[in-house]
Amino acid sequence: MSDRCLVLVRHGQSEWNLKNLFTGWKDPDLTEQGVAEAKEAGRKLKAQGLEFDIAFTSALTRAQHTLKLALAELGQPSLPVIQDEALNERDYGDLSGLNKDDARAKWGEEQVLIWRRSYDVPPPGGESLKDTLARTLPYYVQEILPFVMRGKRTLISAHGNSLRALIMVLEKLSPEQILKRELATGAPIIYTLNDDSTVASKVDLGR
């Protein structure tokens, strides 16, 4: 393993994932399954022989709780952790808190699909994936990447869309490609970076 190690993990299943609700910046905690997924993420990383120097997470409970549980399994409960809303999930605006089926009944299946799966069309009062990238990527470049490039093994516990924004850049994916990428809850992705910050290797522990 190179020392330029970056690990991304999406939070475990949340209470609103289970209820099929748009979550965004709302703040439900993990379900029992989500707790188990977070612990399993920590065990998988430990099985890879990984220890971390620093971790980053969002301002939302489900990502913070996932990180805490994973670090406990790694035997690193006191690892320095930096929290920032730049890593928050995409803001779903007026859709937040709505059941996805109810949203389809209100706005139509095609319109809801456009909001969920287009790159640059935001839901009312919310963010598109492009908007999410616009706040997540600068934070990654300015605050997270310098640690990785100094050889600090770095763990990020965040959300499906904030991590998609990072994966889009790391893997040089088009808007169409990243929209098709599904991220499993609690499944770590391990990147090692070259000295120019491009990806040297990738191991997806969710596969």
Catalytic residues: 11, 89
DSSP E strands in 54-112: the ranges are 54-57, 81-83
CA distances from 21 to 10, 49, 136 (A): 17, 36, 23
d(Cα 26, Cα 90) in Å, to the nearest integer?
A: 10
Give the pairing type, strands 189-193 and 5-10: antiparallel
The sign one gets for the Cα dihedral 193, 207, 92, 71 is: negative
DSSP E strands in 32-178: the ranges are 54-57, 81-83, 154-158
The sign one gets for the Cα dihedral 128, 206, 12, 15 is: positive
Residue showing tokens 């998609």: 164
The number of residues in the chain equals 207
d(Cα 114, Cα 120) in Å, to the nearest integer?
A: 9
d(Cα 11, Cα 122) in Å, to the nearest integer?
A: 23
First-to-last C-alpha distance (Å) of the chain? 19
